[in-house]
Structure 1
Amino acid sequence: MAETSLAQAFSESQTPESLPPKPYHAKRPHKKSRAGCQSCKARKVKCDEARPICRSCRLRKADCIYATPSKPQKCLDETPSSSSSDSVDDGPLTHIKSAASPTATKLASISSTSSVLCSTPILALAEKHSIQSPSIPAELLCCPMGIDEADMKALWFYATQTCTSFSTVADDGHKYIMRSLLVRYGPESPFLLDSIFALAGLHMQRLNQQFDAKRALSYRVKSLAGYRKAIEEAKPSDFPALVANSLLLTALSSEHFREADGKQLYILDWLVVWKGILLVMELVSKSTVVESGLNRLFFRPKSDVEKAAAYIPPHLLLLMSSISPSDAEYSLRETYHQTLKYLGSLYMDLAQGPSPMMSLRTITIFTFLPSLYIDAARMLQPRALVILAYFAAFFKLVQWSVWWLEGVGDRTMRDICLYLDAEWQPFLQVPCAALDAQDHAQLAKIILGDEDVALPLENFTGYGVQMGETVGCCEPLNAH
């Protein structure tokens, strides 16, 4: 006699006669939500289709992902956690938390009722790159269709390596926000996905890993073209992606500093890229940034600029005091003095001992500087360029902590020292000497002008993992 499963035996025992009559309920008429988010569909509840986050997901603090006709997604059918105890912010990204990575066993248990399946190339990459750890970043379980193996390689590298390139706090919240860009905004804003591909490709090249240089260049071209178009169209649905992309571009555009035949004084164009962050923030409004949950990416350490004024190098103060009423830069005196206070804040940090905060303040310094100063530098005003050369010395000081800053300081100092004539060379002795520095200690002594200074320079290494206690010392990007 053939064996009968418990489920089959139970089913056969429940004849129509043995079952109690079912009560009749009239089916309530309702309009189906055919364009609802994936989370609502998985829970089989009506979605109000509000974008970028529907009401249900907002209330549940869940991941709200929409499938688009042009680029449908391949995702696991899963319901995000709504636990608030592990949240990283008060915005809609509070669902992002450091959960245990799914293993190969968990991947095998994907529900057969899921409307979409995990991408096979992702699984192949998992087997190839996870010899020591079989885990797969959760964000890689959702990816756009129509991408090839090179795209998959870029996605994999971004989710496992490059997403930490902007980390500034000890917890993983920042990293998970950067990872979430893949599934939250990439599919609906292709220019952001191109930027992610391009940045990952650039990162791999910097680490001497094999990646098609033509493909990397193609990503960059498509990213910039799509970004410009999105700004011109200014669609609200693209606003979160525009904000995130403005940050990615600061690293992506840094590659021009490392090109042998790069544009002279490229630093002036890079200033515009940093200024673009402020412009995009103004375009999309502060509330949009907060509601998108991306505001945590745009925090900077506060600086006591009045106290820092005492640390401004005397020869730079002399340079400013020499401006006569007939000088073309006379109207910029106050702007220059305010800019020098921010430079003084870096000197103050370095004199007191380099710290994670000094590194972060250095990286974000261009978002603090007066707009008139940036305009003066772009107009090639000599004193503005002299000050810029000193900021570049600090960029060289922290380049060992952030891969995309490599070469930014050296290229900028060299260009400015070559551009300005003999009249300004006495004020450029520090930047010119900094070009020859080969290590932290030597460079710090050159900047401070003290050969006997002893500084705990080990603080420069890995500053991103030492900043857990400093989050409260930051201010939002649009706060001045």
Structure 2
Amino acid sequence: MVRRSSGFVSKKPHRKSRGGCLTCKRKKVKCDETQPACGYCALRRLECEYPQDTLPRSSTASTSASPSHEELHLVPYDSSVDGDFNDITCQIPSWVAPAIFVATGKLSFEEVELLHHYKTQTWQAFAVRGDDTTHPIHQDRVPQLAVTQPYLLSALLSLAASHRNWLQPSKYSEDKALMYRQKTFQHYTKDLQNITSDNYETILLTGTFLLALIPHPGNSASDEDYLEWMYTLLKMSEGLRILASLRWSQGIEKLSIFPLICRELRNLPPPPIIASLQTRAGPLGTTPDHPNPPSTYGMPGAMPGANAVFLPPPLMALLEDIMNPLDTGPIDIHGNTLYPVFHALSPIFLSLYYYHLNPDFNVRVFVLSSFLLPDFLALVKAREPRALVLMAWWFALVCLVPKGWWIRPRVGVVGALGRAIRQLGDTGVWEALEGAERVVDVLLSADIEKAAESVFEGWEGVYWDDGPGRAQEWELGLLVDLSDELDFAGLDLHFDLQA
């Protein structure tokens, strides 16, 4: 017999891991079989997949080698709450999810999770329009288009990661949002050089997503940071306007995503004569041959080329000063650049007055930046006081839209603009600024409804409660006119005007 040495220790028999993940089997290492990711894969940030014929094991396995919830970037599961697979806290094991192949190849499990987060949560916070028309587009059409183009898929994943970071801030989600944003630009700039009928829709849609992916100023941001963020947003919107102009005269409304980029939802009644002013309209973000879009209201008997504007009294006074400078003063060289912005703001106030907080108002607010022309952006960059006042009013109106989580700096921008304007020392412009600041103050101290009502404080002959009634009278008048026209044509049609 072979004599054993005193230092010999019998080797404990090895138990094979029959239910281990595929990665551990390939590496020939022992798998602790923890779900949804084993300790070996989690620590090395590897994709952990189990054979589909393997049943999930109990979580009673040893956790000594398993990472914590924080390391896995998971939210602790609350067993007292019923499972909801639309909830971001509900983790779906990777072995349950089938492989998904897109234009860039196979989606990782993390990308599938972000895609799921967009379809179940992000789009609801992103759909600022406020009616049901765009819901199927956001929830279904956008993901369908995203899997066909790398830049749109990366933009969607970045948006989902950014929204997840907003809901539950973490450095991991923030880094993911930045990574996918960089991928978006990498692919997007390449395809912008070759726009075709096949990729035009996805390129245009990606442009709208990029507006939501502009990095926000931090909590300790300075006024310069806020103003730089604002200017970046305006420049990105300019690019979106140029993209839309490529198709505007060729039936852009035929695009499946048109409801996401339309500029208005309804025609508006003309402004009350008592509070309006006729001016030259100026180019409202025009393309070379076609208005983008044409005016939706006008004054009966107005002079050719003139439109009525509907603005708060301080803004109206500012516009009158531009139109009618003092005889002793120099000609306002920026007048033609500022006119279009006054006119682009006018229908936003008109929609708010006649129909209060409504989807048409939301749409008009968010598309205003696409009306701004390069000459005006140059004035904003140069800190021209009146251009800054118009931007302060716009951001104050943006504050009245209940959604739009990606424009978190909007209140801070109004404050930064106010301080910049006062430093310039133009007291005549300060009065026009104060109305915008009041809207923000009311919003912070009360609610959106009260803040919207405060927009019309001090308007002679214009009262918040009168707007819907006046709109109804105008709509009734249209029905009467239509009835008269049909009767005149010999058609025996009657309308119940009291219905």
Q: Output the TM-score relative to the length of structure 1.
A: 0.57
Structure 1: distance between partners of 2:110 and 2:406: 21
Q: Does 1:232 align with 2:193?
A: yes
Match of 1:332 among 317, 331, 334: 334
Match of 1:279 among 218, 229, 242: 242
Look up the SS of the partner of 2:221 in the other structure.
Answer: coil
Look up the SS of the partner of 1:397 in the other structure.
Answer: coil
2:389, 2:432 within 8 Å by CA — same for their partners in 1? yes
Q: Does 1:440 align with 2:476?
A: no
**Structure 1 residues 433 and 290, CA, compared in 2 at 3 Å: closer, same or farther?**
closer
Q: How does 1:175-214 map to 2 (within 5 A)?
A: 175-176=136-137, 179-184=140-145, 186-208=146-168, 212-214=173-175
> Structure 2 stretches of 5 or more lacking a match?
1-82, 93-97, 269-295, 300-306, 468-499
What residue is the counterpart of 1:129 in the other structure?
85
**How far apart are 1:447 and its partner, in Å?**
2.4
Structure 2: distance between partners of 1:163 and 1:413: 27
Structure 2: distance between partners of 1:350 and 1:292: 28
Structure 2: distance between partners of 1:142 and 1:148: 8
Q: Does 1:383 align with 2:391?
A: no
The 10-residue stretch of structure 1 (146-155 or 233-242) with the greater mean CA deviation from structure 2: 233-242
**How far apart are 1:207 and its partner, in Å?**
2.1
**How far apart are 1:250 and its partner, in Å?**
2.0
**How far apart are 1:193 and its partner, in Å?**
0.7
**Structure 1 residues 298 and 449, CA, compared in 2 at 3 Å: closer, same or farther?**
same
What residue is the counterpart of 1:343 in the other structure?
345
CA-to-aligned-CA distance 1:58-116 (integer Å, 9 cap, x gap): xxxxxxxxxxxxxxxxxxxxxxxxxxxxxxxxxxxxxxxxxxxxxxxxxxxxxxxxxxx
**How far apart are 1:130 and its partner, in Å?**
4.8
**Coordinate RMSD, CA, aligned:** 3.8
1:397, 1:443 within 8 Å by CA — same for their partners in 2? yes
CA-to-aligned-CA distance 1:361-389 (integer Å, 9 cap, x gap): 11222233455434432343221111111
Match of 2:111 among 132, 148, 151: 151
Structure 2: distance between partners of 1:292 and 1:353: 28
CA-to-aligned-CA distance 1:123-157 (integer Å, 9 cap, x gap): xxxx872589x9x9xxx995534332321221001
Look up the SS of the partner of 2:241 in the other structure.
Answer: helix
What residue is the counterpart of 1:300 in the other structure?
263
Instruction: Give the letter for the 2:385 counterpart.
Output: P
The 10-residue stretch of structure 1 (201-210 or 216-225) with the greater mean CA deviation from structure 2: 201-210
Q: Percent identity?
A: 18
1:353, 1:456 within 8 Å by CA — same for their partners in 2? no
**How far apart are 1:248 and its partner, in Å?**
1.2
What residue is the counterpart of 1:392 in the other structure?
395
Look up the SS of the partner of 2:129 in the other structure.
Answer: coil
**Structure 1 residues 261 and 177, CA, compared in 2 at 3 Å: closer, same or farther?**
closer
Instruction: Give the letter for the 2:163 counterpart.
Output: H
The 10-residue stretch of structure 1 (355-364 or 165-174) with the greater mean CA deviation from structure 2: 165-174
**How far apart are 1:331 and its partner, in Å?**
3.3
Structure 1: distance between partners of 2:218 and 2:249: 34
Give the number of the structure whose alpha-carbon radius of gyration is greater: 2
What residue is the counterpart of 1:314 in the other structure?
313
Match of 1:406 among 393, 405, 408: 408
CA-to-aligned-CA distance 1:282-304 (integer Å, 9 cap, x gap): 44676595675333332221554
**Structure 1 residues 268 and 236, CA, compared in 2 at 3 Å: closer, same or farther?**
same
CA-to-aligned-CA distance 1:152-209 (integer Å, 9 cap, x gap): 221001112223423637445543365323333x344211111000111111222227
Structure 2: distance between partners of 1:216 and 1:456: 46
**Structure 1 residues 314 and 384, CA, compared in 2 at 3 Å: closer, same or farther?**
same
Look up the SS of the partner of 2:263 in the other structure.
Answer: strand
- The structure carrying a bigger helix percent of its residues is 1
Q: Output the TM-score relative to the length of structure 2.
A: 0.55
Q: Does 1:422 align with 2:393?
A: no
Instruction: Give the letter for the 1:431 counterpart.
Output: A
Structure 2: distance between partners of 1:354 and 1:258: 33
Instruction: Give the letter for the 2:181 counterpart.
Output: R
**Structure 1 residues 429 and 282, CA, compared in 2 at 3 Å: closer, same or farther?**
closer
Q: Select the structure with the greater relative contact order (CA < 8 A; seq sep ≥ 6).
A: 1
What residue is the counterpart of 1:68 in the other structure?
none
**How far apart are 1:256 and its partner, in Å?**
1.9
Structure 1: distance between partners of 2:113 and 2:147: 17
**How far apart are 1:258 and its partner, in Å?**
6.1
**Structure 1 residues 230 and 406, CA, compared in 2 at 3 Å: closer, same or farther?**
same
Match of 1:449 among 452, 457, 479: 457
**How far apart are 1:220 and its partner, in Å?**
1.5
What residue is the counterpart of 1:264 in the other structure?
226
What residue is the counterpart of 1:166 in the other structure?
127
What residue is the counterpart of 2:23 in the other structure?
none
**How far apart are 1:235 and its partner, in Å?**
5.6
Structure 2: distance between partners of 1:277 and 1:131: 33
**How far apart are 1:407 and its partner, in Å?**
3.3
Look up the SS of the partner of 1:261 in the other structure.
Answer: coil
**How far apart are 1:450 and its partner, in Å?**
5.0
Structure 2: distance between partners of 1:373 and 1:146: 45
Structure 1: distance between partners of 2:250 and 2:109: 38
The number of residues matched between the two structures is: 322
2:127, 2:403 within 8 Å by CA — same for their partners in 1? no
